[in-house]
Each structure stands twice: as C-alpha cells, then as structure tokens.
Amino acid sequence: MEDEMDASHAQDAQEDAAARRPSGLIGAVDNVLRLLRLFEHHEVLRVNQVARDMGLSRSTVHRMLTTLGHHGFVEQDEFSRGYRPGPSLVDLGLAVFRNFDFRTAAHAALTRLRDLTDETVHLGVLRGTDMLFLDGIESRRVLRTGSRLGWTLPAHATAAGKAILAALPEEELGTLYPTGQLEAATPHTVTSLEVLRKQLAETRELGYAVNTAESETDVSAVALAVRGKDGRPRAAITVTAPRSRAVGTWAATTAATARPVIENLEKQMH
C-alpha cells in the first residue's frame, strides 16, 4: 500500500513538474540536472528524498545516481548510504570559477594593453581549427579596427590562431589539418599546412605571431599566446590596427609592449 501511495505521489509530482517545463527539453538530461541542483539545498541526498522531491520512482533515481557516481559527479557515503557531491562535480565548479576569474583578469589586461598601444585588442581561444574571440576593447582613435567580440575566424588566418598553433606539439597540427589544405579568407591567407608550419616556426623564433591582411584585407595584427600553468596555450591576446599604421617595426614594438602585460596575466593564472 505504501509503495502504491509513493508511486501515485511520484506520478502526480512528475506530471505537475512536466506541466511547468517548456517544450523541447530532453527528459533524461533535465532530470539529471534537476537532481544535481538539489545539492544547492542539501548536503546529502538520499534516494527516497530525491524520488519524493522530483516526482520520480526510486528505481529511476537509483539509476541516475549510479550513473552520476560512475562519472564521479556523486559519491555514496559508506555508512549513511547517502550521496554527496563527487570530485568531478567539485572540479567542474572550480574550473568554471577559475574560467570566470581568468576572464575578469584578462579583461583588465586587455584594458591595460589598449591604453598602452591605443589600438583595438582582443582575447581569443582555439575551438577546433577556428579562433573564437571572447572579449575585445576598441581603440579610442577615429580610424581603428572594430571589436570582433563573438566572431569566429580560421585560426591559420589570424595572429591569435597562429600564436596558439605555434605553441602546440607538431603532431597536433597534422590532426587538426589532416588534408594539409587550408581555407583562404583573403588572397593573402596561407593555404597549405607546409607553409603554415614555416610561419609557425618563425612565430616560435620571434615569440609572437603576425597577420597582415590574412583574415581581412585592411587589418594587421600581432598576437601572443597566454599559457596556463601546464605550459600549454590557454588563449591568445591580439592587438589589431589598420594596415596603414602597422608598418615598419610596428609588430615588434607592439609585441614588446604586450609581453609584460601577458606575463603578468599568466602569473595571476598560476
């Protein structure tokens, strides 16, 4: 009788919760996320409690917790048999916090570099073979390059992309570009992996990457990689300018100005 009452209560609660949720949700994923959010209010979760709060059967909740436990998102207490947040869930939360902290510190570095160079600056990360620009601060000059915040551009056609690619192990390049052929964004874009490797070797020698009309015909850029504690590139910071100003020793001078700003950012990350 008690099981029947529990089942009836669970069904009523589940139907009520389903009525409040928007269409298009994936039920199993929605349930797992709802379960994890219970840790916002409970230090320990028990199967009966979760089943009651979520309107699910105890067998369903047990399978969910077993799956989460397999991936380290929860762990079961040996004595109480309750479930606590596992190491994977804790690590995920810390990673999100560190990323947020990095974005905050990086924005301050971008502001500093914009003020030093009086040119537009960007923060970008590698996503596959593309660069995604997460932040940007425009120059105050009338003639300037605009912010590329939210833009995605081919990594091999950008200074930021080449700064990161140059910091990767050689074997990773072959994995990223298995055909050896590269997309041309402008007539100046490198289109073969062989030539790109030569550019990356020069980037490593100089300590910075350059882009002269390779992603946009009227834009030049210089970029340096931002390395994490493990030495791998985590992002890149780019200074961009109209080609009319990026002449002579502009790239080397700009890179020299950017280097201490980026080194200070890396120290904050470590």
* Contact indicator for 122, 147 with CB cutoff of 8 Å: yes
The values of phi and psi at residue 152, to 5°, are: -125, 125
**Structure tokens, 78:** 């040996």
Q: 2-85 adopts what CATH topology?
A: Arc Repressor Mutant, subunit A (1.10.10)
Q: How confident is the model at residue 103, as a pLDDT?
A: 80
Which regions in the chain score pLDDT beneath 50?
1-7, 9-10, 13-14, 17
Q: 97-269 adopts what CATH topology?
A: Beta-Lactamase (3.30.450)
Task: Give, rounded to a whole angstrom, the gap between the first and last alpha carbons of the chain.
Answer: 59
Q: How confident is the model at residue 97, as a pLDDT?
A: 52
Q: How confident is the model at residue 1, as a pLDDT?
A: 45
Q: Residue 236's closest CA among 126, 94, 89?
A: 126
Q: 236-254, pLDDT tens digit by residue?
A: 999 999 999 999 999 999 9
Q: How confident is the model at residue 222, as a pLDDT?
A: 98
The domain locations on the chain are 2-85, 97-269
User: What is the rounded CA–CA span in Å between residue 112 and residue 80?
Assistant: 53
**Structure tokens, 216:** 């946009």
User: What is the rounded CA–CA span in Å between residue 133 and residue 116?
Assistant: 21
* Contact indicator for 261, 116 with CB cutoff of 8 Å: yes
Q: How confident is the model at residue 218, as a pLDDT?
A: 95
Task: Give the pairing of strands 152-154 and 219-227.
Answer: unpaired
Burial grade of 99 (CB within 10 A; 0-12, 13-18, 19 or more): exposed
